[in-house]
Amino acid sequence: MKTRPLKLNRLLKKKIPFNWYYLVWWLGAILIGLVAFLLSRGAIFSFELFSSITQQYPWWPFIGIPIGGIFLTWFMKKVGAGTEGSGIQQTIAALRVTQHPEQVHWFVNLKLATAKFFALIIGIGSGFVIGLEGPTVQIGASIMYSFRRFLPFDNAILRRQLIMMGGAAGIAAAFNAPMAGIMFAFEEMWKNVESKTAARIVLAIILAGLTAHFCNGKETYFGSVNVFMDISPKVLPVLLLVVILGGLVGGFFSWLVVKASRWLPASVIRFKKNHPYYFVTACGLLLAMCGLFAPIFGSGAEMTNQLLHNQVVLPWYYMPFKFMAFLLSSLAGVPGGFSHPPFHWGGSRQLFYRAC
């Protein structure tokens, strides 16, 4: 009796042409691109709604953010663990347990992907300062991993490839840049995947990126930027300083997010664990207070785009308040990505203008 499934498996592998595997992977990649596009449009709509309400009622963030945080905390408890945070950590965790499919299911599945999709739109519409890039990795990995049911075999290698392919395709679609997904995939698989499989994964990444690019038109993540500048030698030290500061601040922020339990007081950690609704309310109120001093709401993609095109000049205190807003949103535990702060610290290029 034990040999029948093996014979059936071999029969299916013979019956189904190898091209079918490609078709399954490519359809999954195209679906990831479409979902990433819908997620970005939903997030834009929800943030525009929040902004319009805030313009009419400046006190709205003090109500909308805490209520949204309470709802998302309740929602995550109902859906289960795995929806909170960025999503990249969950995807990496899934890659490490591919030998145990029941454990992989804890981190990547369609239920979590669907919940995260709507939680992100609600979180951005509530006013939390979160991004979409990290969550799109988990959503993409969940979608591609679910496509294994259409293949006639299942093993740890296939599960790892699908998760890796889906996560990288999610990155490519989120940034509307296939190269971003390719670099993400190579970083994870360079020493673990043979060249033929790597080629298939790269092709799936390109398909996801092209799908998102087709839906978005010519619109890129930061728009079209003219990088030609006549830079005098005296400005180079300032540019170097900006680059170093940006890297240090971005690394420090990442450490604060990942190692929060090491620097937060024990009393705060206990309060968060015992009273999650009070804690997320406090984070929401502090976040709303930051919004009184600087335009910190939103992921930061819009503001970064305006900075790159010289459409806005921000005060020096914008960066500290934005830093605090990202950190509060992370500590609140709401679903959302936090890969955008390193891009946004580029606002310190005001030093460059002063030097000129």
Read off the pLDDT of residues 184-222 as tens digits, 9 standing for 90 and up.
Answer: 666 655 555 556 667 777 787 888 888 887 887 666 555
Contact present, 337 and 254 (Cβ < 8 Å): no
Lowest-confidence pick of 63-77, 193-207, 283-297: 193-207
- Report residue 2's pLDDT band, with 50, 70 and 90 as the boundaries: very low
Residues 186 and 74 in one domain: yes
The arithmetic mean of pLDDT across residues 168-177, rounded, is 80
pLDDT of residue 247: 78
pLDDT of residue 9: 44
pLDDT of residue 341: 57
CA distance 51 to 207: 34
**Beta strand spans in 204-278 (E):** none
Residue 1 lies in a domain: no
pLDDT of residue 272: 93
pLDDT of residue 209: 80
Lowest-confidence pick of 8-12, 34-38, 159-163, 239-243: 8-12
Residues 277 and 351 in one domain: yes
Residues 20 and 74 in one domain: yes
Residues 61 and 116 in one domain: yes
Contact present, 202 and 319 (Cβ < 8 Å): no
Q: What is the CATH number of the domain that holds 180?
A: 1.10.3080.10
Lowest-confidence pick of 187-191, 232-236, 278-282, 293-297: 187-191
pLDDT, greater one: 177 or 155: 155
DSSP one-letter code for 5:
H
The arithmetic mean of pLDDT across residues 41-58, rounded, is 94
The residue from 162, 185, 216 where one domain ends is 216
Residues 210 and 318 in one domain: no
Question: In this model, does residue 3 exceed pLDDT 50?
Answer: no
Q: Nearest to residue 108, comparing CAs of 89, 123, 122?
A: 89
In degrees rounded to 5, what are phi and psi of residue 131?
A: -115, 175
Residue 226 lies in a domain: no
pLDDT of residue 352: 46
Residue 161 lies in a domain: yes
21: its two tokens? 């595997």
Contact present, 326 and 336 (Cβ < 8 Å): no
81: its two tokens? 């663990």
Contact present, 299 and 132 (Cβ < 8 Å): yes
pLDDT of residue 310: 66
- Judged on CB neighbours under 10 Å (0-12, 13-18, 19+), 355 is middle
- Judged on CB neighbours under 10 Å (0-12, 13-18, 19+), 70 is middle
Domain of 152 in residue numbering reads as 16-216
Looking up tokens 């000129």 gives: 356
Residues 211 and 238 in one domain: no
Residue 4 lies in a domain: no
What's the structural domain count of the chain?
2
CA-CA-CA-CA torsion sign (280, 296, 50, 44): negative
pTM for this prediction: 0.85
The arithmetic mean of pLDDT across residues 322-332, rounded, is 91
pLDDT of residue 13: 47
Residue 241 lies in a domain: yes
Q: Nearest to residue 35, comparing CAs of 150, 134, 114, 152?
A: 114
Residues 136 and 267 in one domain: no
pLDDT of residue 120: 93
Average pLDDT of the chain, as a whole number = 80
